[in-house]
């Protein structure tokens, strides 16, 4: 079945939380090393989300706010609440005398019970001011709220992993409103029952709920009501990312949950397969002890099997999107034997 699609079978792997170069200069990454040695590297001027939207011929969504796109995936009907939808990530921050740091394991994925408890408590505390917290499948939230008085620039917290968050705080003419809200949320979380329970369970407390990528919901006519089977649509998408869910809904394509290994992705007959991964989640689950270990897992569980499928003729092209770069490798590119070895982290980090 797979060989039927070999001539036009593309695999896109998005490392959605890989920004910067983890301190892992000596870890063995044979798959990534081969990919960057023989593949074509190109910059992603507007990040992986815009690239993915453009690859699905949705230039309108490529320039839309991520929160607005994510809201389209949650709408039960053509209507949506008024105001602005912000993607909201739960973070565990560590403070020193001079900085507030977001560790590679600091981007939290909350279970459904914790999400519901926080959402209910948030709505009771902030609801009178027009704010509402809605759990989403990624383990985070959408925050619905009034439109800000002026433009606000925000940053995906994944871009801060392993570094200080000082330079990533909301800025712009309307930023004061959002900064006040996030400060109040931090105070509200400090003594929250959820964090007291997490302390007893010896898991990291939730330091902040970080709203980002806010915008008014997409127009009702943008989100498609018909969801086709992924094997018939020509593209198979596997992702827990709320933006990707919204993009798929707008294109009438089903978005399946991201699997643990590549095998379920390859088992679907489609001319194009897309999977988004949060590779540093392995630090929270205990599968990896260091960021370097997480990259080794990515290489072993995803990149090397993808290259094996490329060699076997099951795929005609493999692309990885990481750190605002796209590296793609086609079957014939492996014949470029004159290219010297290039260290993977130098090309992607």
Query: 148-156: which pairs have CB atoms within 8 A and are 24 or more residues apart?
Result: 148/84, 148/174, 148/177, 148/178, 148/214, 149/173, 149/174, 149/177, 150/174, 152/177, 152/178, 152/214, 154/86, 154/178, 154/211, 154/212, 154/213, 154/214, 155/212, 156/66, 156/87, 156/212, 156/213
Measured over the CA atoms of residue 244, residue 249, residue 251 and residue 256, the dihedral's sign is: positive
Q: Which two tokens stand for residue 335?
A: 């014949």
> Radius of gyration (Cα) for the chain, nearest Å?
21
**257: pLDDT confidence band, cut at 50, 70 and 90?**
very high
Average pLDDT over residues 5-10: 65
Position 23 confidence tier, pLDDT thresholds 50, 70, 90 = low
**pLDDT tens digit sequence for 277-297:** 999 999 988 899 999 999 999
Q: How long is the chain?
A: 349
What SS3 state is found at 255? strand
Q: In this predicted structure, what is the pLDDT of residue 81?
A: 62
Exposure string of 268-279, with b = 16+ CB inside 10 Å and e = fewer, is bbbebbbbbbbb
Q: Identify which of 246, 174, 240, 163 has the alpha carbon closest to the alpha carbon of residue 211.
A: 174
pLDDT band at 174 (very low <50, low <70, confident <90, very high): very high
Q: What percent of the chain has pLDDT over 90?
A: 71
The pair phi, psi for residue 275, each rounded to 5°, is: -135, 135
β partners of residue 10: 272, 317
Percent of the chain topping pLDDT 70? 85
Q: Which of 55-59, 111-115, 304-308, 333-337 has the lowest mean pLDDT?
A: 333-337
Task: Write out the H or E segment, with its range, that includes residue 15.
Answer: strand 10-15
CA gap 20, 87 in Å, rounded: 22
């Amino acid at each position: 079945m797979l060989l039927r699609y070999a001539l036009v079978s593309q695999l896109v792997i998005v490392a959605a939380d890989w920004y910067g170069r983890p301190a892992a200069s000596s870890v063995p990454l044979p798959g990534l090393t081969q990919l960057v040695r023989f593949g074509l590297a190109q910059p992603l001027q507007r990040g992986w989300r815009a690239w993915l939207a453009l690859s699905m011929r949705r230039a309108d969504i490529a320039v839309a706010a991520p929160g607005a796109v994510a809201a389209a995936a949650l709408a039960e009907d053509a209507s949506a609440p008024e105001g602005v939808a912000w993607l909201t990530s739960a973070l565990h921050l560590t403070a020193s005398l001079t900085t507030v740091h977001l560790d590679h394991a600091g981007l939290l994925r909350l279970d459904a019970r914790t999400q519901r408890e926080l959402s209910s408590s948030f709505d009771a505390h902030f609801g009178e001011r027009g704010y509402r917290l809605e759990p989403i499948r990624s383990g985070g939230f959408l925050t619905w709220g009034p439109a800000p008085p002026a433009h606000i620039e925000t940053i995906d917290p994944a871009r801060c992993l392993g570094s200080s968050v000082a330079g990533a705080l909301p800025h712009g003419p309307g930023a004061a409103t959002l900064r006040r809200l996030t400060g109040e949320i931090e105070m509200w979380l400090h003594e929250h029952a959820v964090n007291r329970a997490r302390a007893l369970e010896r898991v990291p407390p939730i330091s902040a709920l970080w709203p980002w990528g806010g915008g008014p919901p997409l127009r009702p006519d943008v989100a498609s009501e018909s969801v086709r089977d992924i094997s018939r649509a020509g593209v198979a998408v596997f992702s827990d990312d709320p933006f990707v869910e919204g993009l798929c809904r707008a294109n009438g394509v089903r978005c399946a949950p991201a699997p643990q290994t590549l095998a379920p992705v390859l088992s679907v007959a489609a001319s194009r397969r897309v999977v988004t991964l949060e590779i540093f989640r392995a630090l929270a689950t205990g599968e990896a002890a260091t960021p370097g270990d997480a990259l080794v897992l990515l290489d072993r569980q995803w990149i090397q099997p993808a290259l094996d499928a490329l060699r076997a003729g099951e795929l005609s092209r493999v692309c990885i999107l990481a750190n605002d770069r796209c590296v793609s490798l086609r079957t014939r590119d492996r014949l470029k034997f004159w290219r010297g070895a290039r260290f993977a982290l130098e090309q992607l980090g």
